[in-house]
Amino acid sequence: MNAASGALTCSDIHKGFAGVPVLKGISLTLEPGTVTALAGENGAGKSTLMKIASGQYRADDGNVEVAGQHLPVGNAQAANQLGVAIVPQELASIPDMTVYENLFIGRELIRGGFLRRRAMKAAARRMLEKFGLDISPEVQMGSLPVGIRQIIEIAKATTRGAKVLLLDEPTSAIAEKEVARLASVVHQLRAEGVALLFTTHKMEEIRAMADRVIVLRDGNLVEDQPIDEITDDGIVRAMIGRELEDLFPEVHPHTDEVLLQVHGLKVEDRAPVSLEVRRGEILGLAGLVGAGRTELIETIFGMRARSAGTISVSGTQVRMANPAASIVAGMALVPEDRKGAGAVMGMSILDNTILPRLSAFSTAGWLHGKNRQQAAAEVMDSLRLKRRTLGQPVETLSGGNQQKVVLGRWLTGKVDVLLLDEPTRGVDVGARNEIYRIITELAQAGMAVVMASSDMPEILSLTHRTIVMREGAFVAELNRDELSHPDVQDRIFRLASGQETNSQKESTHEND
């Protein structure tokens, strides 16, 4: 097929930053009415390629054509005019404006110098209905879930005539039900002849949405196959350049010593909950979005106030709503949002590493240069952090390595209880393997680990026990044998959604 016949063609694209090559001669063609998944580890060059194709970045060398027409380098407005739109990972919508104002921003309907608000609202309602969104055009954008805002951004792009749509990590921050809605929108646009390119770290989403998969590794295009002609293992091998041993390491036995004890803990106005976690144990928290997993973990750590209950580490009670007291007691928290709450992205690896324990590395306000350098180097070496120097800003690292910094900064001191909230969100498959190894090794070394995750395979494969939550309450507890049951994923969903009670689950097991 002639390359010029494609909706978008990239030819021999090169790009580097500060002398470091990021893209090394990438060529690809997107055809109308097709969906292409762009896979690769963090740092492989996926986002950079998308930004060049959408005119946001200027390539050092190479050419981009849209339906046979040359795209001027580094010209986002020209890309829009030619029919190329991008929905970035960090959405560009304006939260304080209404839905219809966001949809018509820059192309407002005007008559006689006045905005035709009624006409814009009616048109916006038709756009929303087309994508199955039953919401008012007058609702404020910032009040909507991320997944809905994302589809509104897609509606805005395609109703402006976009024939090429680039989606950068469209599912990284949205709930599972919103992923299904997004997949439906993608299939609808494909049927209308739009060429779509999306990035994701999740193999099931590649299978569900893509006709074809392209894999980048270290700035090179290493695989380009129809989705039916390549296996999941083949995609992973192409991404990381090697065979991936079992993704999940072996789960080791734990001791009987209780390290974390939570008794009668009330989070806001929800029912009180109690739990115990033993030394060497990994306890999972499963549930649907809004089940209360994050709230529970943050309350245990002292970031949220508790209205009742006690929290003890190694038999000693921890003061309420006091993260500093939790740290002194031997607790550590790795939050869900590593960029917003886990690390200071503009600061160096070294400075981030000592943040939770500044007092241990300073005297009268003066930092101990040699001690902190040595402690940070030892910790980051133990986590196999890929870096140039400890002075490198965290924002320049891949997602997996950023997560290692967020985790590693606690390890410069004693940790007995490790609280993990979505520890692999936005992390590619190669880095996930490393993070899983770290978690199991820390547990084996004697930590008690509590891990909230919406990734069912890691809940089933990493944890000794898992508590299923719904609306802040514990609705079931599954042991290691139950987590190995063939239909356990369906059971967890039924329990989490209220379709099955724990007593029903137990009677089901009795009948197996």
Domain ranges of the chain: 3-96+140-240, 258-510
Nearest to 293 by CA among 149, 33, 431, 468: 468
Confidence band for 127, pLDDT divided at 50, 70 and 90: very high
pLDDT over threshold 80, residue 509? no
Query: What is the rounded average pLDDT of the residues 358-380?
Result: 87
pLDDT > 60? residue 506 = no
Phi, psi values for residue 221, rounded to 5°: -85, 115
141 pLDDT higher than 60:
yes
**Mean per-residue pLDDT for 81-94?**
87
Q: Given this model, what pLDDT does residue 301 score?
A: 97
Element of type H or E holding 182: helix 176-191
pTM attached to this predicted model: 0.71
Q: Percent of the chain at pLDDT above 90? A: 67
- Provide the mean pLDDT of the chain: 90
pLDDT at site 505: 47
Class of CATH domain 258-510: alpha beta
Distance CA 217, CA 98 (A): 41
Check whether 511 has a pLDDT greater than 50: no
Task: Check residue 31 and report its DSSP letter.
Answer: P
In whole angstroms, give the CA distance from residue 268 to residue 274: 15
Classify residue 250 by burial, with Cβ atoms within 10 Å: 0-12, 13-18, 19+: exposed
Distance (Å, whole) CA 342 – CA 340: 6
Which residues, 6+ apart, have CB-to-CB distance to 489 below 8 Å?
456, 460
**pLDDT of 173:** 66
For the record, the structure tokens of 151 come out as 């589809």
Domains 3-96+140-240 and 258-510 share a fold: yes
Q: How far is it, in rounded angstroms, from Cα 83 to Cα 157?
A: 9
Strands 465-470 and 473-478: antiparallel
The per-residue pLDDT for range 468-488, each reduced to its tens digit, is 999 999 999 999 999 999 999
Kindly report, residue by residue over 11-58, the tens digit of the pLDDT: 999 999 878 899 999 999 999 999 999 999 877 899 999 999 999 999
Segment 393-402 mean pLDDT: 87
Output 399 or 332, whichever has higher pLDDT: 332
The pair of three-digit structure tokens given for residue 231, joined into one six-digit string: 């296996």
- Class of domain 3-96+140-240 (CATH, top level): alpha beta
Q: How many residues does the chain have?
A: 512
* Rounded CA separation 500/480 (Å): 20
Per-residue pLDDT reduced to its tens digit, 259-284? 999 999 999 889 999 999 999 999 99
- For residue 301, CA distances in Å to 62, 276, 307, 333, 418 come to 51, 15, 14, 7, 10
